[in-house]
Amino acid sequence: MNWYDNAIIYHIYPLGFCGAPKFNDGGEVVYRLDKVLEWIPHFKEMNVDAVYFGPVFESVEHGYDTTDYKTIDRRLGDNNSFRNICEKLHENGIRIILDGVFNHVGRKFPQFVDIQQKGQGSGYCDWFQNLNFGGQSPCGDPFWYEGWNGHYNLVKLNLRNIGVCDHLIDAVNYWIEEFKIDGIRFDAADCLDFDFIRRIRNFCKSKKPDFWLMGEIIHGDYNRWANPEMFDSVTNYECYKGIYSSHNDKNYYEIDYSINRQSGANGGIYKNINLYTFVDNHDVNRLASTVVNQMHLPIIYTLLYTMPGIPSIYYGSEYGIYGKHENHSDDGLRPCLYLPDMEKENMALYRHIVKLGRIYRAYPALRTGIYERMHITNQQLLFRKVQGDQTVYVALNLADYEYDVNFGTHLPGLVDVISGKMIQVDNGNACVKMPPFSSMIIVSDDIVNVEPENISAQQTVEDKDTEIVIGAKYRHFKGGEYEVTAVAHHSETNEELVIYKSLENGETWARPKSMFIGKAGEVRRFVKL
């Protein structure tokens, strides 16, 4: 399993995030993107594994009209400043994903300018899709060419041309070699030539076997693009729509159908693909502007973090900010944000998402377990995720009334790690009383991700014992005594592991932190001496 199969990704649209001018005038370099360094503690608090930067290469306007694949847009900084950003992110355990806009370029792309200047005498006439001198382009050029989706400021590349492919792969090699990037999101991936995708995959995996390739796919069979020869993952637009509309329409059957169709326990056409899941991004309205009832926001994020897939948060949406596509402009989706200003926004939602990040990190079954629906109505959904010996139950209630749900379980005791409340279990039957507009993540472990204000004073005293002290001695509930020597991170899942050795025979053991500090029945598994 690779790092990206267990990742939480934070998506930034840099030109908007930094408040850059709408057009690149070719003037002086301004180091606006350096502000991302101030957000590193924020990323870490959210348990972010990777930052996905929208377009950062030199461009004409919005970043998707590239002019130089090896240069940081001067409105954001320069290559040296971005190298420092990458180094600081990596030092903090955060990987970097760049936006690869390889389907089209801007009209100021040097090879296209060369054709404008030299006409049929240019050596780059075959670099662009369907370029010919039999007519005039809509932009007034004495030749015609194909624009992406009818936009002639986006000149479509000919990815069957070996020179074009070499040019793009050389650029990718530069960012891997010089900046140690960890992945690429491929823009307009449905338009890319399959042979080009296969070639670039082989190249990237030869450089870094755990390099992540993710394609933007809006429609179609995701297996066409995400497979062992092409991308590792693609955007899950099917569930993007289902997530919000199932809440707006009060119809959990919609999202449950999509999840089961894709990766359910009894089949799943995408069972071998870990899809990139999201509730909004730089191209669609913000979730807070899409969902009808704002009380559903925390429930939706609980679903995002617990359904199959790789969850992604679009910058600012963790605070429930609004943003719409209006007046033929995406500017409202891509605002300039300052972290201190966010304290005026929906901090309750932010705290909920921070807690979800901790829970996601603590329970492997949430990340890669199999989805099994257990109970469903229009406004309530109960499912479980199972991986090995670990079972996690997820309960959602989008209704404005309390709801009781009962389900069978093999576990003797359960707790909702969102609220910190114990769940009654009698003779293998769990009884859950769900408040209106609520979500629960129910596990057998002790509470590991609860906010202090949500637990009793006695629990607070008890939970101080859950702080792992390296060098301290602990007694197992069965009587053995041990010394904690380290707290490590699993190389593949990033799960925290407690390393401890027996004081009796010196044998060294490793156990997930969530289990080490949890309970065995009614007693703590380990107690500090």
Whether 243 is covered by a domain: the verdict is: yes
- 475: tokens are 């007694």
- 464: tokens are 């101080």
Q: What is the mean pLDDT of residues 198-204?
A: 98
- 352: tokens are 């909920």
Cβ atoms of 47 and 92 closer than 8 Å: no
Domain count, the chain: 3
The C-alpha atoms of residue 250 and residue 394 are separated, in whole angstroms, by 18
Q: pLDDT per residue over 324-341, tens digit each?
A: 999 999 999 999 999 999
Q: What is the mean pLDDT of residues 467-494?
A: 81
State the CATH number of the domain containing residue 501: 2.30.30.320
**pLDDT number for residue 153:** 97
State the CATH number of the domain containing residue 424: 2.60.40.1180
Q: Do 62 and 179 belong together in one domain?
A: yes
What percent of the chain clears pLDDT 70, i.e. is strictly above it? 94
Q: How far is C-alpha 506 from the geometric centre of its chain's CA atoms? A: 41
Q: pLDDT per residue over 34-93, tens digit each?
A: 999 999 999 999 999 999 999 999 999 999 999 999 999 999 999 999 999 999 999 999
- DSSP of 243-301: HHHHHHTT-HHHHHHHHHHHHBTT--TTTT---EE-S--TTS--HHHH-S-GGGHHHHH
Q: Do 155 and 236 belong together in one domain?
A: yes
Whether 486 is covered by a domain: the verdict is: yes
What percent of the chain clears pLDDT 90, i.e. is strictly above it? 83
Alpha helical stretches, state H, 307-445: 347-362, 364-368
- 459: tokens are 């629990």
Cβ of 104: how many Cβ atoms within 10 Å? 24
Q: What is the mean pLDDT of residues 479-494?
A: 78
Whether 163 is covered by a domain: the verdict is: yes
Residue 45, exposed/middle/buried by CB under 10 A (0-12, 13-18, 19+)? middle
Q: Do 397 and 510 belong together in one domain?
A: no
Cβ atoms of 40 and 48 closer than 8 Å: no
Q: Do 252 and 228 belong together in one domain?
A: yes
Residues 6 or more apart in contact with residue 11 via CB below 8 angstroms? 51, 52, 54, 278, 281, 282, 312, 313, 314, 315
Q: Which of 164-173, 284-293, 499-508 has the lowest mean pLDDT?
A: 499-508
pTM score: 0.86
3-state secondary structure of 63: coil
Whether 126 is covered by a domain: the verdict is: yes
Whether 3 is covered by a domain: the verdict is: no
- 51: tokens are 């930052």
Q: Do 359 and 487 belong together in one domain?
A: no
Whether 2 is covered by a domain: the verdict is: no
The C-alpha atoms of residue 336 and residue 236 are separated, in whole angstroms, by 26
Q: Do 414 and 462 belong together in one domain?
A: no
State the CATH number of the domain containing residue 136: 3.20.20.80
Torsions phi, psi for 218 (to 5 deg): -90, -45
Whether 23 is covered by a domain: the verdict is: yes
Q: Do 452 and 464 belong together in one domain?
A: no
Domain final residue, candidates 418, 435, 456: 456
Q: Which of 72-81, 102-111, 511-520 has the lowest mean pLDDT?
A: 511-520
- 385: tokens are 């995720």
Q: Which of 139-143, 360-364, 376-380, 401-405 has the lowest mean pLDDT?
A: 360-364
Q: pLDDT per residue over 398-452, tens digit each?
A: 999 999 999 999 999 999 999 989 999 999 999 999 999 999 999 997 445 444 4
Q: Do 20 and 71 belong together in one domain?
A: yes
Q: Do 451 and 488 belong together in one domain?
A: no
- 194: tokens are 């399959």
Residue 233: name the closest of 275, 261, 277, 190 by CA.
275
Q: Do 425 and 473 belong together in one domain?
A: no
Torsions phi, psi for 137 (to 5 deg): -80, 160
Alpha helical stretches, state H, 46-161: 79-91, 110-118
Rounded to 5 degrees, what angle do the CA atoms 250, 256, 259 make? 140
Q: Do 54 and 202 belong together in one domain?
A: yes
CA-based radius of gyration for the chain: 25
Q: Do 390 and 345 belong together in one domain?
A: no
Residue 460 reports pLDDT greater than 50: no
What is the domain range of residue 269?
A: 8-363
Cβ atoms of 384 and 396 closer than 8 Å: no
Residue 244: name the closest of 271, 214, 284, 211 by CA.
284
Residue 491 reports pLDDT greater than 80: no
Residue 442: name the closest of 514, 527, 385 by CA.
385
Domain final residue, candidates 344, 363, 382: 363
Cβ atoms of 387 and 368 closer than 8 Å: yes
Quote the mean pLDDT of the chain. Answer: 93
Amino acid in the structure at residue 413: G
Domain final residue, candidates 425, 456, 487: 456
**pLDDT number for residue 468:** 83
